[in-house]
């Protein structure tokens, strides 16, 4: 099959690579003169399997209400008289139940694990080198309530085979300098 991939960024070139591995004739087209000049330029993308708790979770509706009207909110939501926005909002709320959150964590961990192993295999197969870091990430919680709410999802992720370790503030202080210098 002859395939055209639009965009020579990370997703486009990776898609083209895998399509070619499957035996397809692939042409990559980009509107820029060089690859990776738009969305992928200086991209800080990461695969963080342990960062698998969805935005839509039981605590999200209250947070969204508190963020309304704040320009620096992590989830900027401007109310409009737009039926699609309201339908999206209702779908988001549907995903905020404990059962849906547990299901979605399972799906995100599965996708993240697959993505990580695929990336590792791609790096092995191609010899691809870049400024990768593999030591993990450190999540900060700004209140005891947020920290306590993160314990059950962290336990679920561990049960799914995701290495996620909960530490207190004293241990985090000892970990952070080690992460900064690796």
| Residue with the larger pLDDT of the pair 174 and 106 | 106
In this prediction, residue 40 carries a pLDDT of 84
Domain of 67 in residue numbering reads as: 49-128+138-162
Determine whether 25 is exposed, middle or buried from the number of CB atoms within 10 Å of its CB (0-12, 13-18, 19+).
exposed
Query: Predicted confidence band at 118 (pLDDT cuts at 50, 70, 90)?
Result: very high
Average pLDDT score over residue span 151-168: 88
Residue 124 lies in a domain: yes
Query: Predicted confidence band at 181 (pLDDT cuts at 50, 70, 90)?
Result: very low
Q: Of all helices (H) and strands (E), which one includes residue 132?
A: none
- Indicate whether 58 and 31 sit together in one domain: no
Determine whether 158 is exposed, middle or buried from the number of CB atoms within 10 Å of its CB (0-12, 13-18, 19+).
middle
Is-contact 58 101, C-beta < 8 A?
yes
- Indicate whether 22 and 74 sit together in one domain: no
């Amino acid at each position: 099959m002859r395939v055209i991939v639009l965009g020579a960024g990370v997703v486009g070139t990776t898609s083209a690579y895998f399509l070619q591995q499957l035996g397809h004739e692939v042409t990559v087209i980009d509107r820029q003169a060089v690859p990776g000049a738009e969305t992928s330029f200086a991209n800080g993308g990461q695969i963080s399997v342990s960062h698998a708790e969805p935005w839509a979770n039981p605590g999200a509706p209250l947070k969204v209400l508190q963020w309304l009207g704040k320009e620096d909110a992590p989830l900027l939501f401007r109310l409009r008289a737009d039926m699609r926005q309201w339908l999206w909002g209702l779908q988001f709320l549907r995903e905020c139940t404990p059962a849906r959150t547990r299901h979605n964590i399972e799906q995100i961990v599965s996708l993240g694990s697959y993505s990580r192993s695929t990336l590792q295999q791609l790096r092995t197969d191609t010899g691809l080198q870049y400024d990768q870091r593999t030591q993990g990430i450190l999540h900060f919680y700004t209140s005891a309530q947020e920290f306590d709410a993160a314990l059950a999802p962290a336990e679920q992720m561990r049960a799914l085979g995701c290495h996620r370790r909960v530490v207190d503030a004293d241990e985090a202080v000892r970990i952070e300098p080690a992460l900064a210098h690796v």
